[in-house]
Amino acid sequence: ALFSPDGKYIVTAAEDNISKLWSVDLGGYVHTLSGHTDWVNSALFSPNGKYIVTASNDNTAKLWSIDSGECVHTFTGHGRWVNSALFSPNGKYIVTAAYDNTAKLWSVDSGECVYTFIGHGSWVNSALFSPDGKYVVTASNDCTSKLWSVDSGECLHTFTRYGSRVNSALFSPDGKYIVTAAEDNI
């Protein structure tokens, strides 16, 4: 469960194929976000608090309106489960990470895929934006993490000093460093 940026709402994701938007003030749910056909792996608010993005084992992500509870876009194109979906800091893009060995960059306005980040040899466990929104870092079961350009979709660097899968990678608050978590006991 996560709070909205203004602290008025909470969103939950569940294995019953739905997410729920809860009101903190009312103490009950406001909308049931139904439309996925398999488990919902994550649900997150947009930076402006107007939308929620969900990621599902049905190979899709969905963008939902907080006001209406309706699905605005369904992001289709992944060949396997979508592990996570996250907004860029400015809220213009969403990045998805999936078990089809790719991450994808999507336009919030159009719902179209802008880039497919291709280059991992196994599942992409996570994909995160840099604080300035110019880069995406991915972590994969192929024992690497990669740095990607949001402007061009190109892989700028591959980090390979791991002996096992990389579960996550994230940027420092100033965006100058990347920290990774791998199952290599280091």
The tens digit of pLDDT for each residue in 41-95 reads 999 999 999 999 999 999 999 999 999 999 999 999 999 999 999 999 999 999 9
Instruction: Give the confidence band of 186 by pLDDT, cuts at 50, 70, 90.
Output: low
Instruction: Inform me whether the pLDDT recorded for 185 exceeds 70.
Output: no
Alpha helices in the chain (DSSP H): none
What are residue 16's phi and psi, to 5 degrees?
Answer: -95, 15
Q: What type of residue is 139? A: A
Q: What is the arithmetic mean of pLDDT over 118-137?
A: 97
Rounded Cα distance between 21 and 7, Å, is: 12
Instruction: Give the confidence band of 183 by pLDDT, cuts at 50, 70, 90.
Output: confident
Please state, in angstroms and as integers, the Cα–Cα distance from residue 60 to each residue in 17, 52, 183, following that order: 12, 14, 27
Instruction: Give the confidence band of 163 by pLDDT, cuts at 50, 70, 90.
Output: confident
Beta-bridge partner residues of 115 = 105
Please state, in angstroms and as integers, the Cα–Cα distance from residue 41 to each residue in 12, 59, 153, 156, 161, following that order: 10, 11, 25, 28, 28
Q: Provide the 10 A C-beta neighbour count for residue 13.
A: 23
Q: Which residue has the higher pLDDT, 155 or 2?
A: 155
| Token digits of residue 55 | 């990621």
Contact of 143 with 166, CB cutoff 8 Å: yes
pLDDT, residue 77, reads 96
Instruction: Inform me whether the pLDDT recorded for 165 exceeds 60.
Output: yes
What are residue 82's phi and psi, to 5 degrees?
Answer: -95, 115
What DSSP state is assigned to residue 183?
S
pLDDT in tens, 1-53: 789 999 999 999 988 999 999 999 988 989 999 999 999 999 999 999 999 99
Instruction: Inform me whether the pLDDT recorded for 162 exceeds 80.
Output: no
